[in-house]
Amino acid sequence: MFVISLILFSGCSQKKEYTPFRIVETGVSIKSQLSLLSRHEMSFLDSMIILSSAEKMIESIFIDTLNQGCISTAILTVENLGFKDGAKFNEIIKKAHEWGFELCSAEVGPQLRVQYRKQPEGENLFIAMNPLSVYGEQRIFAVQKSSYLFFLKGTICNQETHFNQSDKFVFVMNTE
């Protein structure tokens, strides 16, 4: 089984030590995860919204249920990476790569949405991944909680898309 440790990276524009933030299983069917929810947790389903662009993205990804293991990830803000005035997607990816972080597989977006039930109100996490083509545009997953609803979105994102300094991205940590 894949276990993803989400790490919150805080600080300025220097790489620092990490502390665990979240564990997420991957390599598991999303439908089977939803079927295992208890009655108490079923109210989560009533408040989960998967936008049509995200549904199309989910259709295009493959979840390998036979290849399960563990990976660690980190959450970095654009400002953590040293961009005080925000940055373009390609700049964010390049800087994170220089610091030893890697892109997530597309599976991380839907898995995180299903499993991250105590997401703080107003939090929006962009999944640092290779964009998928949906409706003729490149998109990445975003996991958001807004107005007590849990969203999985397919956010338009190409190499020129600009993100604000406070935007948060989920990256894979290179454990080597």
Q: CA distances (Å), 51 to each of 55, 71, 90, in order? A: 6, 27, 25
pLDDT of residue 20: 43
- The vertex-142 CA angle with 57 and 74, nearest 5°, equals 115
pLDDT of residue 3: 40
CB burial of residue 124 (10 Å; 0-12, 13-18, 19+): middle
pTM value surpassing 0.85 = no
As a whole number of angstroms, the distance between CA 24 and CA 17 comes to: 20
As a whole number of angstroms, the distance between CA 100 and CA 4 comes to: 16
pLDDT of residue 81: 93
Q: Where are the domains of the chain?
A: 2-173
Could you tell me the end-to-end alpha-carbon distance of the chain, in angstroms, rounded to an integer? 20
pLDDT in tens, the chain (176 residues): 334 444 444 444 455 554 445 655 666 666 665 555 555 555 555 677 888 888 888 887 766 655 666 667 789 999 999 999 999 999 999 999 998 888 988 888 888 888 788 899 999 999 999 999 998 999 999 999 998 888 999 999 987 899 999 999 998 887 66
As a whole number of angstroms, the distance between CA 23 and CA 130 comes to: 22
